[in-house]
Structure 1
């Protein structure tokens, strides 16, 4: 069971890493991936229990041709066979995901529509998820038979599975993600899995049929490890068929591919175009539009995307000292091989300070001289990580490091001449949020809306002749931004129309813990690929906190109004506890990303922390469960504890917002974060064996209790994850999400407590 947990967590982490590379890697995508994985594991657990608990149904399954030679009575052989299937499915699933665009004839660089994502992710995760979910029930039944235990078996199997999860999470986070590509990781994991099964088989059974399959599977995966790099290159060549791929690079932040087309080099991050070299026009607009709005250019901060010409343009200002912050050092290292020599010289210029790290944390920590200009060039607020550069809190931090007449510049997607409702809300949200801190804003319409803002409007101008005069006075030579191009971009009529449109909407302010802007970005993505679906997103954007609290009350009342049986309260409690535990985990992941930057490369460690807590909680409850007299009373108190933890999370984030020192940031991420996730795991770990024991007291079919409880736990986690990532976090914010799910767990806990106080 330890190996099953190990394989399960690495499989889950690999699927997250690969699927977010293929699809639009925002929190909606992450939520669908995790929810699909949990759903299929729950299905697998239920199916295995369904077939195992009824001999007639089980016989139908095990008589399939693929299972010839396996006796129905031998749960041991079924368990080993499931390990073999996982060792085959894991590498095949990763290969299939890498070939997904080829199969659907979707060119690289083209965003995949959300409807394709919603259908494809569950299908891609189904085979592996179902088999791994079934392994828990198979392992539980086998353990019960071998150890002659029933009531405690589920809790002990859950503990062993959680221990494996911990080892798998740390192995992925510290070893696999840093030293191996995803295919090599999949093959190594499959080897560990099938080797363990082979050893057990040789020691306990030596059934020739299964031993032969194990040896074949082991050999195939060893061959896969030896040829993983060639296989990776082959899948890449198929994805980029017709293109000249000159470089593939991998880092903990994603996949980077460089494609040559004529004299141009296109850089793709996770199959999405990041920038092109050379891009003279974009670089001139990025730098000169904002720097012409400040009276002097002595100190400039650029966050992201200046390697392809932006630094060269900034260095044209003779007094400029430039701080350039880029998150992924692999991007700079790779770009240096293909950018022109003058751009390489710009990177190495003594007036340029290259910083590898998170731009938001750099702004928060800055204690030096104030800047004349801050240029934000990190892309659209399509994720919670990027959204944090467009929030009220970030703009407050930016104002602190700027001179009184200093400017901040940022660009987001837009339309040049007409703004639809979703685009209007998206652009308007950023405009009104920026205006709260910087009252004077210049708008430059286009396919990208550029906003240049300052606290003081005295020097800022949209008059083309004034901007041309400033270029001449400063001796700046440009190819595109000149007396002919500036009147086109600074057209008074289009600027006036855009400002009037943005001023006319009801403003929504974008906050760190209320990331509404990235919800509008998702709505735009949906609108682009699926006409008609935008109505659903507009409807969801109108959901209020009290609507969901009312739903929570109704859910808590269902056991009272419909069933009124104690075991129904136990089942409901297990489902809601799984829901609450997963919401705590996803809220912590998104909240820490908002506060401290990109953390998805730590996903294995995050999950390991959660599972470590589950292992500890399960072990403690297993060792003391026989001493507990009022088990339902304790069960209800644990549900209430989950609710209290959810209520506490917003206060934790408010306290952590003030941390900016590098040492303490790393301490929080590496120590406090795992502790907080482990605490949530402890609560879920305490509840699971207790729920199994109580439920077993109310049913005669104790052999299926473990599978049922496991499925309810995973099902609740799946539902909570979907609701939180798709609806409540972007629409209501992290604080309200914690409140809604806290109320739900609190009400269910109180209901269970009332039932526990009643007589049988």
Structure 2
């Protein structure tokens, strides 16, 4: 292989490494900035893929106008390395410029912000892959586009592995940006002609980009500071970003941008602890799933024999105790494990299980408000034990979406407990037990000799028998239950996101549907096949991400691994497809059928008990799906003609399909239909592709 070709292929690999590391870092970044959930992940991936597909289309236009060369490729590569730190500076710095600090942001604002900040980088990433192929073909007209595709996949896999197994554990985001982009910068410089590499102008540009990359490392902490509070602690754990801010002597702990603990939470601490524990004759063994400041001190007033405190992230629990946001008490056991996983494995029985989690705005949180969780919690309670959890409170009027959520939860938990009491305090607290529940909580506390300043002062004025009776009477008995695989609470939370900002997804869905229809009308059958394969692979990736979230709960740690596995299958798949490309007309229908069968198997296995399956099943499914999709690309490209135009159109169809599959699966199919029906819709899409390929009469 000529030396010049090797240099270009090394650039393709380095671009793949840099882009995947950047993508995974961006997901965590936007989750922290927008207190995000899976819908935000979907928007990021949608924008990334759509912009990448647009960049690929632009490369096709550029390739028609002038002969590509290594000098131009080198300049673009250096520009990409320089854009990466600028991308993160803009993402962090512009958020408070466009939106009020500390406020939540709506769907359209989130989409527009992520789209605009990511656009320069993603367009260039999408441009570089086909442009690299055009440069190679300028010297070797018959150069294999499949080989470039495989080389890019190799870089993607290496980038995913580097992030998942090293960077996420060892360095901060902007340190990771430096590590991932230094090779890209060096290789871009090496692409310059020998006589211009050491020119002052060239060295000045390279040095400027290097300074940009280094400045990210130096200014990392400053990019996270707030004008309203002092940043006293910053840490990137495996599970996300941990920050502690100090304002007027008060400490507030943030996890992925969301405030979760403050030194002034006394009222919430008293409600959360005393509402359930006052119902018990004796509170000896207590399980806390998450906590707020002051909660452990309130638990200690009952002199329990054992208190198990569950916190998934070890770094998070360490910070909680370091800043006295939580105080250690006698007989406390700190357990760094997922709450559902602990309950499924422990043999301990508890007098009280207190779930102190926010409303289910993510699938990870939703797992603690489903039928299966309530059954699991019931199995770990003593005969007279009590389960407690809460939702957002209300004043005198309860909005319809909130009433629907409370009704769904009531109907879900009522299948497992004989008595359920809703107390409308600062939060609406659910008390669930097989023993009779009482509302005279201040009297019970006085009888036990327990002092609770907030409850004794405000309970009888705020939580009257009339309010309790009214709330329990207006619940909608016909509402369905909340299931792991059919997260009905998530559907309402998504609708509330729009209602909060008086917007509707209708405009977005309508415009997107029109754009997709116009795009599809211009595709050949083989391009449509690649479009559907892109949609399938990303749809399946979203299915696996959401299934992980549902059954295991720690998606922020595993998302890099999942994405890496879905990328890893493309490389051997493309190699196999390249070997079979002469038989593409016969083999393509077989691969479409294989994807349909894989999805059918996925549905059947999940129905038999997805929560009992090992993690390796989901990873193997992802690898196999990507292998089959990777196999299709060379065969479809061969049928398209494999010239520069065909290669750019194929890359573009694959990326645009992936963008659509990401958004539709995560925002529409799973929240509104559930995992199984979402899988059936993907099967329907691939069946249409199979039908078109089978009925094709082109030679």
Q: Settle same-fold status: TM greater than 0.5.
A: yes
Q: Which residue of 1 aligns with 2:93?
A: 99
1:581 aligns with 2:537: yes
Q: Which residue of 1 aligns with 2:295?
A: 310
- CA–CA separation in structure 2 for the residues paired with 1:380 and 1:320: 30
Equivalent position SS for 1:632: helix
Deviation at 1:209, TM superposition (A): 7.2
- CA–CA separation in structure 2 for the residues paired with 1:535 and 1:419: 26
Deviation at 1:82, TM superposition (A): 1.6
The correspondence for 1:124, drawn from 112, 117, 123, is: 117
Q: Counterparts in 2 of 1:148-163, with a 5 A limit?
A: 148-149=141-142, 153-163=144-154
- CA–CA separation in structure 1 for the residues paired with 2:656 and 2:200: 36
Superposed CA offset, 1:170-203 (max 9, x none): 10111111111111111222211111222343xx
Q: Which residue of 2 aligns with 1:547?
A: none
- CA–CA separation in structure 1 for the residues paired with 2:410 and 2:205: 58
Q: Which residue of 2 aligns with 1:61?
A: none
Structure 2 vs 1, CA of residues 344 and 413 (structure 1 numbering), >3 Å: closer, same or farther? closer
Q: Which residue of 1 aligns with 2:6?
A: none
Q: 1:194–1:214: 8 Å Cα contact kept in structure 2? A: no
Q: 2:77–2:184: 8 Å Cα contact kept in structure 1? A: yes
The correspondence for 1:376, drawn from 319, 333, 355, is: 355
Equivalent position SS for 2:682: helix
1:477 aligns with 2:451: yes
Moved more, 97-106 or 386-395: 97-106
The correspondence for 1:357, drawn from 331, 337, 340, is: 337
The correspondence for 1:344, drawn from 319, 323, 327, is: 327
Deviation at 1:359, TM superposition (A): 0.7
Q: Which residue of 2 aligns with 1:461?
A: 438
Deviation at 1:621, TM superposition (A): 1.6
Deviation at 1:488, TM superposition (A): 2.8
Q: 1:143–1:157: 8 Å Cα contact kept in structure 2? A: no
The correspondence for 2:244, drawn from 244, 254, 258, is: 258
Q: Which residue of 2 aligns with 1:616?
A: 572
Q: 2:387–2:431: 8 Å Cα contact kept in structure 1? A: yes
Deviation at 1:226, TM superposition (A): 4.8
Deviation at 1:257, TM superposition (A): 2.0
Q: Which residue of 1 aligns with 2:490?
A: 518
Q: CA RMSD in A?
A: 2.5
1:596 aligns with 2:582: no
Q: Which residue of 2 aligns with 1:392?
A: 371
Equivalent position SS for 1:425: helix
- CA–CA separation in structure 1 for the residues paired with 2:272 and 2:527: 57
Q: Counterparts in 2 of 1:271-310, with a 5 A limit?
A: 271-306=257-292, 308-310=293-295
- CA–CA separation in structure 1 for the residues paired with 2:649 and 2:188: 25
Q: Which residue of 1 aligns with 2:5?
A: none
Structure 2 vs 1, CA of residues 6 and 263 (structure 1 numbering), >3 Å: closer, same or farther? closer
Q: Which residue of 2 aligns with 1:401?
A: 380
1:24 aligns with 2:4: no
Structure 2 vs 1, CA of residues 747 and 228 (structure 1 numbering), >3 Å: closer, same or farther? closer
The correspondence for 1:650, drawn from 600, 603, 608, is: 603
Deviation at 1:693, TM superposition (A): 0.3
Q: Counterparts in 2 of 1:126-275, with a 5 A limit?
A: 126-149=119-142, 153-201=144-192, 205-206=193-194, 208=196, 215-224=203-212, 226-237=214-225, 240-275=226-261
**Aligned residues between the structures:** 683
Deviation at 1:361, TM superposition (A): 0.6
Q: Which residue of 1 aligns with 2:680?
A: 739
- CA–CA separation in structure 2 for the residues paired with 1:159 and 1:233: 38
Q: Which residue of 2 aligns with 1:487?
A: 460
Q: Counterparts in 2 of 1:620-639, with a 5 A limit?
A: 620-626=576-582, 628=583, 631-639=584-592
Deviation at 1:31, TM superposition (A): 0.5
- CA–CA separation in structure 2 for the residues paired with 1:255 and 1:155: 39
Q: Which residue of 1 aligns with 2:649?
A: 708
Moved more, 579-588 or 19-28: 19-28
Structure 2 vs 1, CA of residues 110 and 532 (structure 1 numbering), >3 Å: closer, same or farther? closer
- CA–CA separation in structure 1 for the residues paired with 2:198 and 2:657: 36
Equivalent position SS for 1:422: helix
Deviation at 1:636, TM superposition (A): 1.6
The correspondence for 1:442, drawn from 421, 436, 442, is: 421
Q: Which residue of 2 aligns with 1:90?
A: 84
Superposed CA offset, 1:611-669 (max 9, x none): 1100010012223434x2xx22211221122122222222333455453xxxxx8xx33
Q: Which residue of 2 aligns with 1:45?
A: 56
Structure 2 vs 1, CA of residues 210 and 83 (structure 1 numbering), >3 Å: closer, same or farther? farther
- CA–CA separation in structure 2 for the residues paired with 1:435 and 1:212: 75
TM value normalised by structure 2 = 0.92
- CA–CA separation in structure 1 for the residues paired with 2:35 and 2:232: 24
Q: 2:253–2:259: 8 Å Cα contact kept in structure 1? A: yes
Equivalent position SS for 1:452: strand
Structure 2 vs 1, CA of residues 692 and 28 (structure 1 numbering), >3 Å: closer, same or farther? same
Equivalent position SS for 1:415: coil
- CA–CA separation in structure 2 for the residues paired with 1:127 and 1:478: 56
Q: 1:48–1:137: 8 Å Cα contact kept in structure 2? A: yes
Deviation at 1:508, TM superposition (A): 2.3
Q: Which residue of 2 aligns with 1:429?
A: 408
Q: 2:283–2:304: 8 Å Cα contact kept in structure 1? A: yes
Equivalent position SS for 1:514: coil
Structure 2 vs 1, CA of residues 428 and 187 (structure 1 numbering), >3 Å: closer, same or farther? same
Q: 2:68–2:131: 8 Å Cα contact kept in structure 1? A: no
Equivalent position SS for 1:318: coil
Superposed CA offset, 1:677-698 (max 9, x none): 211110110011111001118x
1:324 aligns with 2:269: no
Structure 2 vs 1, CA of residues 212 and 400 (structure 1 numbering), >3 Å: closer, same or farther? farther
Structure 2 vs 1, CA of residues 299 and 745 (structure 1 numbering), >3 Å: closer, same or farther? same
Deviation at 1:447, TM superposition (A): 4.5
Structure 2 vs 1, CA of residues 317 and 735 (structure 1 numbering), >3 Å: closer, same or farther? same
Deviation at 1:489, TM superposition (A): 4.1
- CA–CA separation in structure 1 for the residues paired with 2:199 and 2:124: 20
Gaps (5+ residues) in structure 2?
Answer: 1-11
Deviation at 1:242, TM superposition (A): 3.1
Superposed CA offset, 1:120-158 (max 9, x none): 1111111111000011110122233334425xx221111
Q: 1:580–1:643: 8 Å Cα contact kept in structure 2? A: no
Q: 2:42–2:662: 8 Å Cα contact kept in structure 1? A: yes
1:34 aligns with 2:45: yes
- CA–CA separation in structure 1 for the residues paired with 2:422 and 2:201: 66
